[in-house]
Chains A and B, each alone.
Chain A
Amino acid sequence: MNRNDKAAVIIELVKRLRDNGNWCGETHLQKAIYFLQALLLVPLDFEYILYKHGPYSFELTDELSRFLFEGFLNIEPHHGYGPSFYPGTYGEILISRYSETINTYNSQLSHVSEIIGRKKVIELERLATAYFVSLEMGDSRSREERARRLVNLKPHIAYPDAFSAVEEIDSIRAQVTSVAE
């Protein structure tokens, strides 16, 4: 995917997240794009590491800043929560010109918008970290083992919440697999 295609997919994602009632702060967008590329295999190629609030990409942060400069995205203050993103004037133009790319990834965009929905940052942190841990440890590890690893990495998350997140991510993965088949 070239940069225009990637930009169009990300701007469309911002649009759909907002349509689903998400306020679309940077953390929401970071996790949504993580799921889009790691779970739903949209080739956006951002490098993710485990950092603040779960999986995080420094490259994506820089790219979002460029999108702001280029007028593809805008931000508005969201009191108490930090700024939220919405498509800028050129962003709307870009998604209309790259409708073919968006159509190619339409089902993945819809799916990730549903996963993210109105989830709060704490829920997204648990869920995305649960997926990160599952990929890191492999499928053979039990839910208990993965939940323990999650707590080890994010000590502020309680074990029952970590276990629920692992259960939820397994269920989402099963859905994704059955749709793909």
Chain B
Amino acid sequence: MKSKNFQEVRDPIHVFIKYDCQERKLIDSIPFQRLRHIHQLALTYLLYPGATHKRFGHSLGVMELAGRVYDVITTPENIHEDIRHIIPTSTDELSYWRRVLRVAALCHDLGHLPFSHATEHSLIDGGWNHERLTREFIQNSCIREKTDNMTPPLKTEHIVKLALGKKEAKDLPFSDWEAILSEIITGDAFGVDRMDYLLRDSHHAGVLYGKFDHLRLIDTLRILPLSVEGSTEPYLGIEKGGLHCAEALLMARYFMFKQLYLHPVRRIYDIHLRDFLSGWLTDGRFPNVIDKFVEWTDNKVFAGFVEVYGNKSHPSFNAARRIVERNHFRLIYELNPKDRDMCPDATDKLFNSLSRYCGAENVKKDTYVQPGGLLNFPVVGYDNRISQSTDLSETLARMPRAEMAFIFISPEKRDKAEKWLDSERDRILDSSSKEIAV
């Protein structure tokens, strides 16, 4: 029987994901298959047992959604007259860019370290991050030999630009069209990377807050000109009918951060994982050479847990023990608005005091503020007039940003630390004359 040009796989989020035989070759490549062994949410499955999904499924999902968005925004009747000039007109060009977008979506996470974001910041040499590694992969022969042989051949620079976006590919010039296509994948408001991970993480973790009507939202996406005091730029925006879906997406993101991504137990396991790796990896770092890096998956690190757990003299033994025995540090303090009002650097002060009292090795601190700018995008009304989203939606104008500041204590010191904190906390925080630590 002749092999099919199009294939499809079942997916818990998008039902079916379709790809053709050229994309299949890319999916079958070693760098892409490696993503089958990178957990999307690191060790989160230790507290949400269902959260065992991998970057592989997510990357397929991002490709599927990117293609759907592309089809909507390039449908002739959906194109706004004022930005028509930035969109290619020939069928061949439109097909080429659709292919580039889907391939960029497939490749956008190739450079993730084992356990995804959990290990990124302290375990790779300065100046490197997963986006830079992704770029290295896309430019490497293992991917290029697939993309160069597609019909038509894809330009590597185009894939890099769309997969990374302007923020991570600052050295490359972007046309308006390329900037919009990269926003489809990486955009702060409507990036399909975000849409897929919210839906997928929500589904697997069993945390329902991440769901929103992505089908309706995608149907209402448009490229729109946004004019601010006479300066007009094209942005990815929406039809007014999709405004509530956009609100739901951004609320879903906020809730997922609060409920799942910033869960204190998940965060402390990330810290234990980093502590383990810094003592276990050669020079405390993952390699940043692609041929070596491609061997690194979660499986290799799991084997390391077991190996080190059997060796009490190993510098990473304590961290391995915390993970293997599931005996993590416990949350002892979470910054709250009252304390912050009293003392803007409450977390630092309490952390320093606790470290002196209990020993630095028994106390860990973790802080995070959800990145990204103000959520302002163009919305086209039924009368074809374009407004800014924050003018139309009170919800978007006042969308909170997820943040947290935690202090953790080793289980062995917990009772002692709690008693001490109860008696000393107000005194430590009541020192308004000291400098604000930012």
The chain A residues found within 8 Å of chain B, CB to CB, are 3-4, 7, 25-27, 47, 49, 51-53, 58, 61-62, 64-66, 68-71, 75, 77, 79-83, 90, 93-94, 97, 120-125, 156
Contacts and interface: CB of A to CB of B under 8 A. Distances in A.
Best-buried of A64, A71, A83 by chain B (most CB within 10 Å): A83
Nearest to B402: A69
B349 to A, nearest CB: 15
A100 to B, nearest CB: 12
Contacts of B373: 26, 61-62, 64-65
A61 B233 contact: no
Contacts, number: 90
Contacts of B437: 4
21 contacts: A4-B437, A7-B438, A27-B228, A51-B174, A53-B231, A53-B233, A58-B167, A62-B372, A64-B373, A65-B373, A65-B374, A71-B344, A77-B390, A80-B391, A81-B388, A82-B388, A83-B390, A94-B436, A120-B231, A122-B229, A123-B230
Interface of B: 166-167, 170, 174, 179, 228-233, 235, 340, 344, 369-374, 376, 387-388, 390-391, 397, 401, 403, 435-438
Given A26-B374, A64-B373, A4 B229 contact: no
A83 B375 CA distance: 10
B369 A93 contact: no
Given A93-B436, A97-B436, A69 B231 contact: no
B230 A49 contact: no
A86 to B, nearest CB: 14
B233 A81 contact: no
B228 A53 contact: yes
Given A97-B436, A121-B228, A156-B232, A83 B372 contact: no
Nearest to B436: A94
Nearest to B166: A51
Given A27-B228, A53-B233, 5 more contacts: A47-B170, A62-B373, A65-B401, A122-B230, A123-B230
